[in-house]
Homo-oligomer: A and B are copies of this chain.
Amino acid sequence: MENHFLYQVFGKTTMTKEEIEMVVLKFKQVNFAKNDFLLEEGKSANNYWFIESGFVRSYVIDTEGNDITTNFYSIGDIVIDWPSFFLRNPTRENIQALSDCVCWQLDFNTFQELFHGIKNFREQGRTTLVGSYFALKRHSISIIADTAKDRYTRLLKEKPHIVKHVSLKHIATYLGITDTSLSRIRKELSDE
């Protein structure tokens, strides 16, 4: 039990061993093949996942039909559409596996039982959500305040495994630029 993958995920929280065990047992392993959708635009999220292995991307299609990456996920990350999962609404986002993935899944009703039943679990869940909020805000401010080059070098530094495994065009839209521009930024950096 203690070497269950999810044990690491919940091990850093204030939860007791008994609580962690209760929680972990509710998760169910689900595997996705490359290009499978974890969630599709128009549907409502009834699950979320922790990634044990693999890469995942979320994106939206904007009004002009452009694909814009909203986030990348890899080992240890939670994959969740917060608004759709909690507001029980159809989503605008697509979440797709970029590689074969091993994930651990929890559905909404089971989540609710745990959330209302275990104080430490809801503290943990709140902390995770607030962490996502914080990351999103940082990214949003960065798009306003920093140059594309700065954004790219920071991504490279903070998430090198993402840059290594994900195609340039997806990274570009995540950074708010075109693939052409990112290619030029890469060239500039290699010329330095």
Given A87-B130, A116-B119, A133-B82, also A62-B145 (CB < 8 A)? yes
Given A116-B119, A136-B140, A140-B136, also A86-B130 (CB < 8 A)? yes
Is A173's beta carbon under 8 Å from chain B?
A: yes
Query: Which of A8-16, A49-57, A64-72 lines the interface with chain B?
Result: A64-72
- Cβ contact within 8 Å between A134 and B83: yes
Is A149's beta carbon under 8 Å from chain B?
A: no
CB distance from A19 to the nearest CB of B (A): 15
List the interface of chain A (C-beta within 8 A of B).
Answer: 60, 62-64, 66, 68, 70, 82-83, 86-87, 116, 119, 122, 126-127, 129-134, 136-137, 139-141, 143-146, 173, 176
Q: Within 8 Å CB of A146, what residues of B?
A: 62-63
CB distance from A40 to the nearest CB of B (A): 17
Nearest B residue to A139 via CB reads: B140
A12 vs B63: C-alpha distance when bound (angstroms): 32
CB distance from A89 to the nearest CB of B (A): 9
Residue among B87, B127, B132, B176 making CB contact with A127, cutoff 8 Å = B87
- Cβ contact within 8 Å between A141 and B62: yes
- Cβ contact within 8 Å between A137 and B86: no
Nearest B residue to A177 via CB reads: B144
- Cβ contact within 8 Å between B173 and A144: yes
CB distance from A4 to the nearest CB of B (A): 27
A105 vs B25: C-alpha distance when bound (angstroms): 40
Q: Within 8 Å CB of A131, what residues of B?
A: 83, 87
* New A-B contacts (17) at CB < 8 Å, excluding given A86-B130, A132-B133: A62-B141, A63-B145, A63-B146, A68-B141, A70-B137, A83-B134, A86-B126, A86-B127, A87-B134, A116-B122, A122-B122, A129-B133, A136-B136, A136-B137, A139-B140, A143-B143, A143-B144
